[in-house]
Amino acid sequence: MGQDRQRQVVLACCESAREAGVTPGLPVAEAGGLLPSGARVEAYTPESDAEALRAIAVWSRRFSPVVAPDPPDGVLLDATGCGPVHGGEEQLVGAVVEGFARHGLTARAAIAPTFGCAWALARFGDAEAAVVPEGGARNAIAPLPTRALRIDADVDAALAEVGIERVEHLLNLPRSTLPPRFGPDVLLRLDLALGHAIETIEPVRPSAPPEAERVFDGPTTRWDALELTVRGLLAEVCDALRARESGARRIEVELDRSDLDPTGFALSMSQPCRDARHLWSLARPQLERAHLGFGVEGVRARASRLGRLPHEQRERWREGAAVADAATERAVAELTDTLTNRLGPGGALVFEPRESHVPERAGRLRPVGIGGPAAQIDACPRHDRPTLLIDPPEPVRVMALTPDGPVMSVNWRGEDRRIVACIGPERIGPEWWAGDRSGRDYFKAQDERGQWLWVRRDTADGRWSVHGVWA
């Protein structure tokens, strides 16, 4: 609803209102009579429309990296090269329409060689989603009304007066006659739609990552000043993160040194974090190690990788057990972050199972926070395995009944062990795809003190080794 010559008129309406007979331009009083009671009539506010359009443009960045809002009611996407990602341009345009439909919005979309052509087809074309191939712009816009060229309403009216209603009529006129008769705008718009003139758009940028900076009066090497500054910067970044309901996965701190190159360090977190105290505990050892040179002139902190982290208050609504779990997860994340930041990425590891019968390949330890969530671990074969795997296996001298038979005695680490019980062999075939050349026979052997050893014999060369202990 909006003002038009002292009357309140309908500017836009939804599909069901249109079915009831409401059309844009109708006085609001008349429209109210047509609509069932309870229909919502809202005042037109250009600012909130522009804001919503910008939000839609930001959301549309999932389809293309270059997106611009096109007021009042459109969004322009530079779809060059984006088709193959979605399996083709038809699929892309379908995905756009479908994506808007999921949010309850009706959208019409078109992909064309020029923005002008796509603009025209999306508004005046027959199909909800259209794709114009390269070089097809002229044919595509020819049957459309002249309004589809984005020309002013009074110019359009002037064209209509002389019987020019469709773009094809304009195309049939000599180019040189257009500007003197209808103004320069018509020819420009026509050229834009046909690709004879180049059109640029101003893409939306996602908001810049949270950043904070302080500049000192002069170079300083004072620890207390630096500590205070870095803590302040981290708190500032955390405040900015809180406003966006996100947390930092990585924070870069840069120190501008006088007469030297800037130095810096990075904090990496396994889970999104915006706890200034935890960040400081990670930053402190790194700051202590930083070489300050002749003094630091300025400090900058920037959250370069972000992750979603809901507001703290949300947690109050969770169940008791979930709160305890969340607290545990946070505490563990802080622990692993601190470990990784001091010991390096291999400092804190979690287990990832693998399907292999070869004992040393039964799983892999991977750094915390890299890769997906922990896999299901219950699919392991339930063989009897030693608690301690000696990797790499230690060669031993073995006395056996037959060359490949039960073990009689083992000389391991310079100590002769008489074997009183021996179970086996358990044969594990070579995994040729992993580069194994030899299978192994394993014997579980008990020495006279009661210690069980896992004695291995390579089937290819007959060499013996101890591969594990039931410790």
Residue numbers at the binding site for other proteins (CB under 8 A): 321, 324-325, 327-332, 334-336, 338-339, 342-343, 346-351, 353, 359, 362-363, 365, 368, 374, 376-378, 380-389, 413-415, 420-421, 423, 444, 446, 448-452, 468-471
Smallest distance, other proteins to C-beta of residue 342, A: 7
Distance of CA 432 to the CA centre of its chain: 38
Smallest distance, other proteins to C-beta of residue 341, A: 11
Our CB check for other proteins shows the closer of 158 and 362 to be 362
Our CB check for other proteins shows the closer of 155 and 362 to be 362
Omega before 392 cis (within 30°)? yes
DSSP output for 369-385: TSSSSPPP-TT------
Our CB check for other proteins shows the closer of 271 and 459 to be 271
Smallest distance, other proteins to C-beta of residue 453, A: 10
Q: Are 346 and 367 in contact (CB under 8 A)?
A: yes
Q: Are 12 and 5 in contact (CB under 8 A)?
A: no
Q: What angle do CA 387, 348, 284 make, to 5 degrees?
A: 150
Our CB check for other proteins shows the closer of 370 and 420 to be 420
Smallest distance, other proteins to C-beta of residue 348, A: 6
Per the listing, tokens 């939306």 go with: 204
Our CB check for other proteins shows the closer of 295 and 347 to be 347
Smallest distance, other proteins to C-beta of residue 405, A: 18
d(CA 166, CA 176): 19
Smallest distance, other proteins to C-beta of residue 261, A: 29
Smallest distance, other proteins to C-beta of residue 218, A: 36
The token pair that represents 390 in the structure block: 């000696």
Our CB check for other proteins shows the closer of 281 and 459 to be 281
| β-sheet bridge partners, residue 469 | 388, 453
**Maximum C-alpha span of the chain:** 113
Our CB check for other proteins shows the closer of 196 and 342 to be 342
User: What sign results for the dihedral spanned by CA atoms 292, 293, 294, 299?
Assistant: negative
Smallest distance, other proteins to C-beta of residue 63, A: 38
d(CA 223, CA 466): 54
d(CA 225, CA 246): 29
Our CB check for other proteins shows the closer of 435 and 450 to be 450
Omega before 24 cis (within 30°)? no
Distance of CA 84 to the CA centre of its chain: 19
Strands 129-131 and 109-111, by their bridges, are parallel
Smallest distance, other proteins to C-beta of residue 450, A: 4
Q: Which residue from 234, 232, 249 is spatially nearest to 333, judged by alpha carbons?
A: 249
Directed axis angle between helix 223-243 and helix 276-289, to 10°? 140
Smallest distance, other proteins to C-beta of residue 8, A: 60
Our CB check for other proteins shows the closer of 290 and 349 to be 349
d(CA 222, CA 287): 12
d(CA 38, CA 21): 16
DSSP output for 23-72: -TTSBHHHHHHHSPTT-------HHHHHHHHHHHHHHGGGT-S-EEEETT
Our CB check for other proteins shows the closer of 327 and 401 to be 327
Our CB check for other proteins shows the closer of 266 and 349 to be 349
Smallest distance, other proteins to C-beta of residue 447, A: 8
Smallest distance, other proteins to C-beta of residue 230, A: 21
Q: Are 403 and 388 in contact (CB under 8 A)?
A: no
Our CB check for other proteins shows the closer of 29 and 331 to be 331
Q: Are 386 and 413 in contact (CB under 8 A)?
A: no
Q: How many Cβ atoms from other residues are within 10 Å of residue 354's Cβ? A: 11
